[in-house]
Structure 1
Amino acid sequence: MTTEHANTEDLAGALYDAIALVTRRLKQTRVPGGLSLPERSALSRLARSGPASAAELARADQVTAQAMGAVVGGLETSGFVERRPDPRDGRRIIVSLTPAGEDVLRRKRDARGRQLAQVLTAEFTAAELETLRAAAPLLERLGESL
């Protein structure tokens, strides 16, 4: 095994451990009326990529179609998404963000976001914040590639 390969495996292990810790800690914070991580993920994906089927959302988040169906159902009940027949294939149902869904993403800072922002403000230097800002798109790309 080359040194470069060993270093990459060490980095992968460190990233896995760090991401798992952050995820566990964020999942522990829940506020009444706040969005769950799956809800926020689905809304964010729709905002980023546009309308999609529940199956496409499920694949993107690596969850079952049934689990995503429950998430989409809850978001629809809340008025954050709407389901319509696909204009190209009437057998498919497409989920899209409503203005209320866009609004909740734009203005609502749930407890996870506030918790993260408070820690970032209190515990990290300006240079560290810039490093994290640069790393965020890379981490998203990593997640999309898994």
Structure 2
Amino acid sequence: MSDQRSESPVDTSLLAGEIRVVLGQLVRRLREQAEGSDLTKSQSSVLLRLERDGAATATALARAEGVRPQSMAKIIQVLQDAGLVTGSPDPNDGRKTLLSLTEAAREQFRTGRRAKEDWLARALEAGFSAAEIRQLSACTDLLRRLGQFP
């Protein structure tokens, strides 16, 4: 009789919960590294969308963010007052205003990303062996695929 051991299957529900908790902890730690911003999540989300997708109208932003146009107008006003968003006439329709990031907002993104990446690099160098760093490196592709799952 052969001594074949079959590994017990992983409970994907338990794994899903563990991944959610661990990634949530990591995201919170990363956010701590870029402190200094008094922006709400909604305001930050609008800035991220403008950075990722480029200039947009307030109506398009409201639709994409799932908020009422009146709520988006308030968000935009705060961002404009903070010098993070600017408006310019839409070249295709002069009645509309295209909103885009200011250089100050772009610099804020760069500074925040640098702080997060510096913290991660220090954490990896101080708390992980070379073998563990290789394991984490191998996991990044798997996590990317997980994040892209529809």
Provide the TM-score with structure 2 as the length reference. 0.57
Deviations 1:86-120 (A, max 9, x none): 111012111011111111111x439xx69x95999
**Paired residue for 1:109, among 108, 112, 116?**
112
Q: Please provide the CA RMSD for this pair.
A: 4.1
User: 3-state DSSP class of the match of 2:95?
Assistant: coil
Q: What displacement does 1:80 show? A: 0.6
Structure 2 spans left out of the alignment, 5+ residues: 1-11
The runs of at least 4 consecutive aligned structure 1 residues that moved more than 6 Å come to 9-27, 118-124
Deviation track 1:44-95 (CA, whole Å, cap 9, x = no partner) reads 2211211001121222222222222222111110101101221110121110
Write the deviation string for residues 102-145 of structure 1: whole angstroms up to 9, x where unpaired: 11111x439xx69x959999999535643664366556656xx7
Question: Percent identity among equivalent residues?
Answer: 32
Aligned residue type for 1:101: A
Which of 59, 67, 70 matches 1:66? 70
Which entry has the higher C-alpha Rg, 1 or 2?
2
> Which SS does the other structure have where 1:95 is aligned?
strand
* 1:79 maps to 2:102: no
Alignment coverage as a number of residue pairs: 137
Compared CA separation, residues 89 and 102, structure 1 to 2 (3 A): same
The answer for the alignment partner of 2:6 in structure 1 is none
